[in-house]
Chains A and B, each alone.
Chain A
Amino acid sequence: MTAIGDSPLARRVRAAATRFTTPLLPDDYLTLVNPLWSARELRGRIVSVTPEAEDAATLVVEPGWGWTFEHTAGQYVGIGVAIDGRYVWRSYSLTTPPSRDGRRLVITVRAMPDGFASHHLVHGVEPGTVVRLAPPQGEFVLPDPLPGKVLFLTAGSGITPVMAMLRSLDRRPAGTEDLVLVHSAPDAERALFAEELDLLARRHPGWRIVQRHTSTDGRLDLSPATPPREGTPRSDRATGSSPRTALGDLVPDWRERETWACGPAAMLDDAEKLWADAGLADALHLERFAASFSGSAEGGTITFARSGRTVETDGATTVLQAGEQAGVPMPFGCRMGICHTCVAPLRTGAVRDLRDGTEHRVAETDQSTRTVQTCVTAAAGDCTVDL
């Protein structure tokens, strides 16, 4: 049924049907029959929830109308789930490449200790639940063709986007890639995809997969002070007296490898510094699960009408950040432009979307207002927000 709404004929049928259902869409009536028969908002139905390692689960989602299945391995989707009557949004990497598993989306979620939404997804959500989806996003993808030598550096649930990449590479015929994955998990119980990773390593002679457990192996040392030593034993389970293992010990040729890293923020910060110090910043790709702001705005004075606060901002500070700094009670959710929890009416002036540079403007004389996502917009000149 997903094809409905895609072809030109179907589009014409939809347009005609909308003449009858105005001000609603045909979708609004069709959802009475099947909750997935709507392209008004992207949605999906949870097909299964399979426990993975401790406190993690793999969710299979059947998307509704309007989903294009055109994501690239490594990208993430937004998923909105109703908790206590309210949609809460989070982003998770898709762990399978497109069009696998019969037009299903697969994500693996780790329940964070204080993560209300992740806990609900791992332990509380029933198969059959209808969730909202946001289209795939993210620049954390592999180029085609692949660079000669690749390093994946992951920790914890940071393995999930890389898993999609590995599964995608696994399907390619006769892979000759020179590929290294160094994955750190706290211990065997909390290691995601451990068996599948072993299986992949056996199947592909050119892949070297190092699964580390930080409780016994210590944290991977990404400090630039450690020089690479020669003749380091290539053990899949790095052990020894030292509680910390340097990256250079594990992967002596890391400088020659195009690297994709995903994991806790502290690890990514270390990696960023290590690669920058080596003058190799361009060879490192990071996934931080945050909106990538390519644009910048003009900046200006933002007036928060209801709270009566005014703050001067530069073009890189989002309206949300500016409001928070000024002590305005600002609603927020994902802070990356997918969940629309932070939307607020713009009364006058203009703001610019930092993701793509789109300007949203309301003229002084306009009676109308428009709502803007405060977490991804910054002032483009003076403006007034109704918060």
Chain B
Amino acid sequence: MAISDITEFAHLTDADVEALGEEFDQIRRDVEASRGAADEEYIRSIIRTQRRIEIAGRAALFGSVVPPLWMAGAALLGVAKILENMEIGHNVMHGQWDWMNDPEIHSATWEWDNVCPAEQWKHSHNYLHHTYTNVLGKDKDVGYEILRVTSDQKWNPVNLAQPVFNTLLMLLFQHGVAIHDLDIDGLLKRDISDPEEFKAKLEQVGRKMRRQMGKDYLLFPLLTGPFFLTTLTANMTANLIRNVWSYAIIFCGHFPDGAEVFTEEQLENETQGEWYLRQLLGSANFTGGRLMHVMSGSLGYQIEHHLFPDLPSNRYPEIAERVKEICAKYDLPYNIGPFPKQFWRSIRTIWRLALPNRKAAAEQAAHEAEGLRRDGASTSPAAEAGRVQEPVAA
């Protein structure tokens, strides 16, 4: 059940929440004070590597009629797009690298290799999602206006088809992202709140789509001459690889079991400490090696990303250690699991919620309404996470 008073839910006192906020503030100050040449070299080397991989992929496709080159080209280009969209684009647009004072790597100027215009992304994602994280009715990322991802969202017969919507969203993910900032809810209800703005945004999306699809599906295929068709299919495959991968990573951020949602009441007079607490309880991490984290835009550190969206992503591993300590100290859950497990939990929820709430789900909701358990047996974050990992009886 959605949380309307996070302090009560976490069984913390106001003083605890304030102290917790102070500790998170201190992490921010420490990281900000220590940003330097090594961090600069990190982002520059990722950008250099990404551009080289992209060039290699495009070059391989000049022989796209040969199957190994087709496969190499599609794979390299897919990897390049993943890196660009996730570890570079997403993080640069969050302002993680603005401190370098380099207009070429700056949130104000970055445009990503994706059909979604950067400006609209910064509004729907940086502003709406990161400010109102997991607040029902405010954060459009809670189901992206087409999926029912929590039992708090009212069931509608159209939800029966959500396994299909979900699959389509996965395959066409970049296009879903592109229209995310549009008033889709208003469009469906035939009551767009600002038709002028809707039109302007739609035109902006159209322009970006033409440019993006023009290069991938027309110009580069033409450039490879007789291999037009094989280059075209390789480019489509590269975009598909990126779509499926980024979809999978992003669905692990807030939909796995244990990631809480909130009501608008929680936002009233919310303190900085409560804001941190909401980001912590509403997000989920996954484990993985360094390469896995770079390839997922450091979103395996979703909790750290939500606590500090504008600190450089290469610092999330060290931040995570301190966040875990704070969670242990205040007896708070730290939602983490292997990537396949977290992904399965998200998908299972989406499939299950295609149907109306059942008794078991209602029981789970009632259980959650009690808040985090405080019986000495589960004081460690792992044990708390264990609680939320209990599968709901299907």
Contact = CB atoms under 8 A, between A and B. Distances in A.
Contacts of A123: none
Given A20-B215, A23-B113, A40-B104, A86 B99 contact: yes
Interface in A9-47: 19-24, 28-29, 32, 40-41
Interface stretch (A230-238, A317-325, A363-371): A363-371
Contacts of B104: 28, 40-41
Nearest to B111: A23
A20 B223 contact: yes
Interface in B112-154: 112-113, 119, 123
A43 to B, nearest CB: 10
A85 B220 contact: no
Contact of B101 (A21, A24, A87, A367): A87
B123 A365 contact: no
Interface string B310-353: 00000000000000000000000000000000000000000000
Given A20-B219, A368-B119, A333 B101 contact: yes
Interface string A82-116: 10111111000000000000000000000000000
Interface stretch (A66-74, A266-274, A276-284, A337-345): A337-345
A92 to B, nearest CB: 18
A32 B52 contact: yes
A80 B100 CA distance: 11
Contacts of B15: none
B51 A84 contact: no
Contact of A29 (B39, B51, B113, B119): B51
A19 B100 contact: no
B36 interface: yes
Residue of A22, A29, A132, A339 with most partner-chain B CB within 10 A:
A22
Interface residues of A, number: 30
B123 A367 contact: yes
Given A343-B108, A367-B123, A371-B108, A32 B48 contact: yes
Contacts of A32: 48, 51-52, 55
A149 to B, nearest CB: 45
Interface residues of B, number: 35
Interface string A320-364: 000000000000010000011101010000000000000000000
A23 B111 CA distance: 6
A161 B299 CA distance: 52
Contacts of B35: 85-86
B100 A87 contact: yes
A22 B212 contact: yes
B197 interface: yes
B291 interface: no
Contacts of A343: 108
Interface in B86-110: 99-104, 108
B68 interface: no
A85 B36 contact: yes
Contacts of A82: 37, 40, 100, 102
Contact of B112 (A23, A84, A339): A23
Contacts of B102: 82, 87, 132
Contacts of A367: 123, 181, 197, 201
B364 to A, nearest CB: 37
Interface in B208-251: 208, 211-212, 214-215, 219-220, 223
A211 B164 CA distance: 85
Contacts of A40: 104
Residue of B51, B101, B108, B112 with most partner-chain A CB within 10 A:
B101
Given A20-B215, A85-B36, A339 B223 contact: no
Nearest to B210: A22
Nearest to B212: A22
B52 A84 contact: no
A368 B123 contact: yes
B220 A20 contact: yes
B393 interface: no
B219 A19 contact: yes
A88 B36 contact: no
Given A29-B55, A85-B38, A85-B100, A22 B211 contact: yes
B30 interface: no
A38 to B, nearest CB: 9
A358 B123 CA distance: 26
Interface in B22-60: 35-41, 48, 51-52, 55
Given A41-B104, A82-B102, 11 more contacts: A22-B214, A23-B111, A23-B112, A32-B48, A32-B52, A40-B104, A82-B100, A85-B35, A86-B100, A340-B101, A340-B103
Interface of B: 35-41, 48, 51-52, 55, 99-104, 108, 111-113, 119, 123, 181, 194, 197, 201, 208, 211-212, 214-215, 219-220, 223
23 contacts: A19-B219, A20-B215, A20-B223, A23-B112, A23-B113, A23-B211, A28-B51, A29-B51, A32-B51, A41-B104, A80-B101, A82-B102, A84-B36, A85-B35, A85-B37, A85-B40, A85-B99, A85-B100, A86-B35, A87-B102, A343-B108, A365-B197, A371-B108
